[in-house]
Structure 1
Amino acid sequence: MKVIVEADGGSRGNPGPAGFGAVVWSADHRSILAETSSAIGRATNNVAEYRGLIAGLQAASEVGATEADVYMDSKLVVEQMAGRWRVKHPDLAPLHQQARDIANTFDRISYTWIPRDKNSHADGLANKAMDVAAGEVADPPDPVVSQENSATTEVVTNPAGWTGARGAPTRLLLLRHGQTELSVQRRYSGRGNPALTDLGVQQARAAARYLGDKGGIDAVVASPLQRAHDTAAAAAKALDLDVEVDEDLIETDFGAWEGLTFSEAAERDPELHRKWLRDTAVPPPAGESFDTVAERVRRAQQRIVAERAGRTVLVVSHVTPIKTLLRMALDAGPAILYRLHLDLASLSIAEFYPDGAASVRLVNQTSYL
């Protein structure tokens, strides 16, 4: 008998209160043959996703299925189960093996990624399970202050409570690349490809150590330019993840101003330079306007949110794309691009909710450098 298995899992906080849901459908997707869900206490998104898959496969086996088409909105689980991605994280390896052992009992099985909105039944079950988990592992009403470690005085709140946003947000950790020679000389550095300086390498490693200790990151996505990719690679190594490249996260094309200082560009094209500083629709000569950058950065943001809904993604890019993502999250006007300052190797955080709401949690953190 052939069935369709839809599975989902999630965590509010990553790690945080977690749960999973799975539903087994008839081959024509008209009848529900089985469904299952459970709270699993405190866990990461990826652990919850694997637990949902395992439960779905077990349920399919129990109804007598011999063939299964599995659909999930976790790209990581789908790619790992399909054998296209390696399983690196030690917490996932035993779950992956358990899922494979069950899968091997079927005559045929396939794995397909689907957007979250196409996985609504399993998503609903998983969210109900997370509601239960949140009650089981809820934080105390007042912070518990440890005399040994003052860091426990931090109280993390969900900005959704102030905005009315619904659903689990996709959290983007926005890391700017480390120092290059052009940034030392304060020159326009767009599509040119300078390498990190020795200090830039140290900055990338410091950020990687911080992010590795922090954990809870599901994917690393980077600009194709070397300075960003090398910064991302350091973090990916600390997180035991691969770097995925997104061309839309590349820096602005400064055209004829590439490699010039501010003063040199202003002297070369005085009137155009003045207009460019006031109007995001104006491009540098043979270059790209900030409005054009915004269009492709929005594509990248929409793609990341669609493919990794409710997950935490490290995005390693450049000053303009990161400013643009923060502008999008704030729903701010173009003037913010000229007023935000982002240091090299700095970290900012933006969250995007399924209903279109967004929030900014952090801007320009450099305490780890």
Structure 2
Amino acid sequence: MTAASRGSGRRLVVEADGGSRGNPGVAGYGALVRDPANGRVLVELAEPLGKASNNVAEYSGLLAGLRAVLDLDPGATVRVKMDSKLVVEQMSGRWKIKHEDMRRLALEARDLCAEISDAGGSVDFEWIPREKNKDADALSNDAMDGKSVHRIVTNEAGDGSDADRESSSLPAQGDSEIASTPTSTRPLRLLLVQAPLDDAAVPRVVTAVRRLVGPGTSVVGADDDLATRMAADLAAALEVEPHTAGDWSGQAPGEGADDRVRTAYHSLTASGGTVVAVTSRRGVLSVLADVLDTPVERFWAVATAPGSLTAVWVWEDGSASVAFTNRTDHLA
């Protein structure tokens, strides 16, 4: 049986949106996955992006929706509905992509579509007017307000039982809506910054981080000279106080994961929120090893570069996922 014949036969709809107040300005995206058979929403997502353009936010919403499909059912037949004519026409291959940021995001989206296709599914795109995209638009406005949303319906029977897993609008520190979450622990959005080799890369790293995080972000890091300066510049850009400590240095004796980094990471999972952590390559890999349960003999198998970004998300139930690793386009 070929990959193309192994599709699940399930149909899913992705509705995505993004916005920027200022263009570029404070940006965020919203995305949801819906079962078209009954209209039931299966996943809702929203995430602040810091300062970015409308188009970057729109593409970010598309990427989030496609990743959610891959988590739900990679062999599904998917219809993507967006009110961005630009994204729909570019992804359908009818318009050229001239801007470098758009080209990078479109290639990433096409890679995700290819994963769905390889699993036997398919993806097509439909433009819809804004008034028919209100749910995704509302989520993107939540994101521009500094809130992060991740709601997954695991009880698809829709009987309202506790099998529905939901995390409410998050991660701004002290957000009053946190009281509505089902547990006292907030999800963690952790952005790991591998310390660059010299100061020249610091401004580009700061700019990249600001595109990915919003208000209420905390900054922690290692206490060596360069990591401390990197953390200080990030904290200044985000208007917060940095907290540096040897726990994030990744220099403890021994092979494989650094237990001090893992302990520091576990402390963050207990408090939740959005955190930027400046650490070493071993520090980044120590967190990834914890999330992925990497055996010690494969500890160094993941490539990461100085100045790169890696993102880890941890939900209230303790489950964690790696959103991306070794992002380095900002260094080019």
Return the TM-score normalized by structure 1: 0.42
Structure having the higher Rg:
1
